[in-house]
Structure 1
């Protein structure tokens, strides 16, 4: 196998891998939005003046769930944006470089030096860009993993906080509407 072809394939693999990360982030982001909505809903409905033991047993896992949800947001946001990839020079620039090489090696009638130098330069571009992009993708993979892990832990803690929420009846009481019905016939 030609080295140029090998590194070219590696370069294209890393570029395609970056697009895969963007697609993989959609489901965790949607789940994170649902989790944040759930946490906000429960917070809105909690009666903090209820049983102190129940409020404490609810508050601790809820607080940790909220903090870990923020950590998850940070990791998923880091995995989503801010990734800079390196690309090959524009075809126009590569063609200009080839013309400069051709002029430089004018004495070489067969053009073998031009082809060899150009291939070597392209191989170096592919190696440099593919290596850098691979490191970026590995960092994104790590952040995606940590974001999903944090979101999973936060979800479990949110569900655990529901146990004292319901067992101590910490739901905010809705005011009951009392209707006065007068019975005019009984007078």
Structure 2
């Protein structure tokens, strides 16, 4: 299936989840992540800030901040069409609507960060394969980010079961994640 069609179909399925069902699935995914005891082993963690019907990452980010982890979140440098990171300390006061209305760090927090300090990434995606390849939203931000790193951090993707597909059109620049966690499975 063509990427654009598949992307639209899966996002539509995600958008159709009613609020109670979505909350239940998000909690199952969060519990599966926490049961892996992964977050405790890393200090510099980059986590996407959810928008729309994406899996809610705010409980994860809150956990990281409460456990004194260095939490980095993305923002888009529109001028250079790049995703950059900022360290944040407070979810309520450090974020504001940004690129496509996605919460991003406020401007005064946007300081140059050496991306190579990141040792764990919690990444979004639209679809994933059992081989852990991901299809994002088509901007290439995460693939470019992963390719720019000198060392590869652990990459974890959060997804609903229906986002796991048999195959995706894979490009040479596509970089798989290390673990995909859904409400019913952990793909390593």
Fold match (TM-score > 0.5): no
Q: Which has the higher strand share?
A: 2
Q: Rg: which structure is higher?
A: 1
* Structure with more relative contact order (C-alpha pairs < 8 Å, separation 6 or more): 1
TM-score band by shorter chain is: under 0.3
